[in-house]
């Protein structure tokens, strides 16, 4: 048996075509959606991610602006820029590429982004909304995983979903999103004793640990659905996930490849959030495209 492939690249292509149409409609009604990306330093991986995001914006008809600062930038300067972008009539989404240098407090920076433009979904309001309802922008990676599952008609209600990795940007929001869909969710992390005890229970296994080869075939049951979020750059320059794809695929019913699985979906959901932000702003104030709309006015449940 070999698993069916959850092809994030193909699904992204379809979604991006419809995103382009939505952008065009907005452009015809006033202006194209706009995304501001803030990049600090010269981390090669961050530079690649930012380039990919800009390329995806071009593909979807979204105007993007990259603000590139040296590593020595102060928190004060970054906050100043974010405050300007919060009230800019051209910008619907603000993204700060992580990681930031150690002297910059990430929470302060993310906290300054207007909730209405937090298209990465990292602001406390959007994270809190995953518990209490009211999220405007779901975090992009879990949102992309959810869409991959839904598009393949993979039901999570009542299923054992095991998530390996408990970060604020992937594992935790993923757990909350699938809990809302009535999955029984377990979250494992570096301190979990006997990881395979949990992974063997999974009907759906989502792995976001950043450890190549962490999940082997003996750790999963037959017919498991495997979502590999991991992106690991190997010494030979290749990219691999956290799952031993070649062996696990013989036991799984569905599996994501790396690359070509979750990665393209993350970027696509960023563009979707940005366009939706512009649409909401337009719908609320089509004449002025008011940047200062309150969260209550923009609320959308996922």
Strand partners, 66: 37
Query: Which of the ranges 12-20, 22-30, 103-111, 189-197 carries the binding residues for ligand NAD, by CB under 6 A?
Result: 189-197
The yes-or-no answer on residue 97 being catalytic is: yes
**190 lines the binding site for ligand NAD (CB under 6 A):** yes
**231 lines the binding site for ligand NAD (CB under 6 A):** yes
- Report the alpha-carbon distance of residue 55 to residue 120 in Å, rounded: 17
C-beta separation of 285 from 32 below 8 A: no
**277 lines the binding site for ligand NAD (CB under 6 A):** no
List CB contacts of 51: < 8 A, sequence separation 6 or more.
none
DSSP state for residue 215 in the 8-state scheme: B
C-beta separation of 208 from 174 below 8 A: yes
- Report the alpha-carbon distance of residue 141 to residue 120 in Å, rounded: 9
Query: Which of the ranges 55-63, 117-125, 183-191, 218-226 carries the binding residues for ligand NAD, by CB under 6 A?
Result: 183-191
**189 lines the binding site for ligand NAD (CB under 6 A):** yes
List CB contacts of 193: < 8 A, sequence separation 6 or more.
none
Query: Which of the ranges 73-81, 104-112, 187-195, 288-296 carries the binding residues for ligand NAD, by CB under 6 A?
Result: 187-195
Rounded alpha-carbon distances, angstroms, from residue 208 to 87, 120, 123, 183? 35, 17, 21, 18
The yes-or-no answer on residue 159 being catalytic is: no
* Closest to 9 measured CA to CA, from 265, 270, 266, 272: 265
State in angstroms the smallest separation of the CB of 22 from ligand NAD. Answer: 22
C-alpha of 199 from chain center: 23
**163 lines the binding site for ligand NAD (CB under 6 A):** no
- Which residue, 190 or 292, has its beta carbon nearer to ligand NAD? 190
Please pick, among 53, 117, 172, 251, the residue that the annotation labels catalytic: 53
Pairing mode, strands 239-240 and 232-233: antiparallel
| Residue from the set 64, 116, 141, 199 that interacts with ligand NAD by CB under 6 A | 141
C-beta separation of 78 from 40 below 8 A: yes
**239 lines the binding site for ligand NAD (CB under 6 A):** no
The yes-or-no answer on residue 120 being catalytic is: yes
State in angstroms the smallest separation of the CB of 262 from ligand NAD. Answer: 4
Please pick, among 118, 120, 203, 244, the residue that the annotation labels catalytic: 120
| Residue from the set 60, 109, 202, 214 that interacts with ligand NAD by CB under 6 A | 214
Interacting residues with ligand NAD (CB under 6 A): 141, 164-167, 169-171, 188-190, 192, 195, 208-211, 214, 229-232, 262-263, 266
Catalytic residue positions?
53, 97, 120
């Amino acid at each position: 048996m070999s698993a069916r492939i959850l092809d994030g690249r193909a699904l992204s292509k379809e979604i991006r075509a419809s995103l382009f149409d939505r952008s065009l409609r907005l452009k015809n009604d006033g202006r194209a959606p706009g995304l501001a990306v803030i990049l600090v330093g010269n981390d090669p991986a961050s530079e690649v991610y930012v380039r990919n995001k800009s390329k995806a914006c071009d593909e979807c008809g979204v105007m993007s602006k990259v603000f590139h600062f040296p590593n020595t930038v102060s928190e004060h300067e970054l906050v100043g820029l974010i405050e300007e972008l919060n009230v800019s009539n051209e910008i619907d989404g603000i993204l700060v590429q992580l990681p930031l240098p150690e002297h910059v407090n990430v929470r302060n920076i993310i906290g300054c982004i207007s909730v209405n433009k937090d298209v990465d979904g990292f602001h406390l309001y959007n994270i809190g909304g995953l518990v209490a309802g009211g999220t405007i922008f779901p975090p992009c990676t879990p949102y992309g995983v959810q869409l991959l599952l839904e598009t393949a008609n993979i039901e999570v209600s009542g299923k054992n979903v095991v998530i390996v990795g408990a970060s604020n940007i992937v594992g935790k929001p993923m757990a909350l999103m699938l809990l809302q869909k009535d999955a029984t969710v377990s979250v494992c992390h570096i301190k979990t004793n006997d990881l395979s005890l949990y992974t063997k229970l999974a009907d759906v296994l989502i792995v976001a640990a950043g450890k190549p080869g962490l999940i082997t075939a003996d750790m999963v049951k037959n017919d498991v659905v495997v979502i590999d979020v991991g992106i690991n750059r190997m010494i030979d320059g290749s990219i691999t996930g956290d799952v031993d794809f070649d062996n696990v695929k013989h036991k799984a019913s569905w599996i994501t490849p790396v690359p070509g699985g979750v990665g393209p979906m993350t970027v696509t959901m960023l563009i979707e959030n940005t366009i939706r932000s512009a649409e909401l702003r337009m719908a609320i104030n089509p004449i002025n495209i008011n940047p200062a709309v309150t969260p209550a006015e923009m609320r959308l449940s996922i």
